Structure 1
């Protein structure tokens, strides 16, 4: 079918991304690639990124970045052999009613830091830098947003760590698992829905699970546009860290 043809797929995904906002990439991630092939890579089974096959818990895409994607798209090109790998989705607006007012108030405090994802630090040495302090929950009480990565977001004190665990449990309790079939496309609001992946067993036979990922951003600040090397690729973090 046409949707599985590489050229047609990218053109269609670009159209979807541009209807939502603008298709973008990140200079630090995969050298600014606009489309990411998500599939297991031998030797990277335990990586918490798109090359792994272990469970990948709930996260906001590019949690560290001041210009996080507004929307994230995932197109399934091929299922895993057993058709068990699930894309896991959970909304902060479903989860927060399970928390107390005090716990939500803690999550709204700018007391959290998020490490840069490993996909942004593959070519760097030393400890991964972090972004913050920032709140995990923000926005109007009736329409909250989330900035969270269960692997990379940490609090400054034990109380903050406890409320992150409570949030994770609430997100798990309202989670929906989607086993995508070839041709299925899911588009997420990256400020409301966190996502993850269940574990699966790769065979490395050329028929493993394969998704294609893209990002869409509603608006890029003028100062960032003038720093971009490519019209769709956001500047490196080393150039913009601390600006926003």
Structure 2
């Protein structure tokens, strides 16, 4: 579990996050949603440790992230997997080398042990036999799956995904969502996803935090979205006429 305690963050005197207290649960897909400028990316970077809060705390289970020294912080980061928005693969490395990179950086495993782990992770994301390909030789969806394989190669307790469906077609986005959700459950990971994708919200949103103007405007799960009386959630989720009609239908059935 990850939890935040009265988290504030300011830049040049402008307060971006205004007292975020919430929890992200182990074995669940935890989603951070909100309009552009709501503070989602800043919150994610605070959770990962890329920013320091102006005030407040981030807890990894019972560990205060920002009280750690460099060695302790390195140990925590070895338990963290990160899936970046653009996959962030190294163009000059093969798929195998990309996935193996965290093992090279953080472990003393033998070459065979590393290869076995890389192959396991590639098989887990349905990419057997692509070890020697370069990212430019793969599709956007495949690159995202390579990114997932790399993010889980160290066996993380915590997984952060920044807009995992960015740039993908709807069908591929569903595949990525289902893959992240199944890995989260299977490995009992605390997964935090920053997303604009409403399909992700409705399909895998087990714990959803809606940010608005740097504050938590709503919390709930996918089954509560359609019937929520939150004006902020309604304005965000049901911007399109189709979704407005879907919500009206759901309310009529109650």
TM interval, short-chain normalised: under 0.3
Larger helix fraction of residues = 2
Compare CA radii of gyration and give the structure with the larger one: 2
State the TM-score, normalized to the length of structure 2. 0.26
Higher relative contact order, structure no. (Cα contacts within 8 Å, ≥ 6 residues apart):
1
TM-score, normalisation: structure 1: 0.26
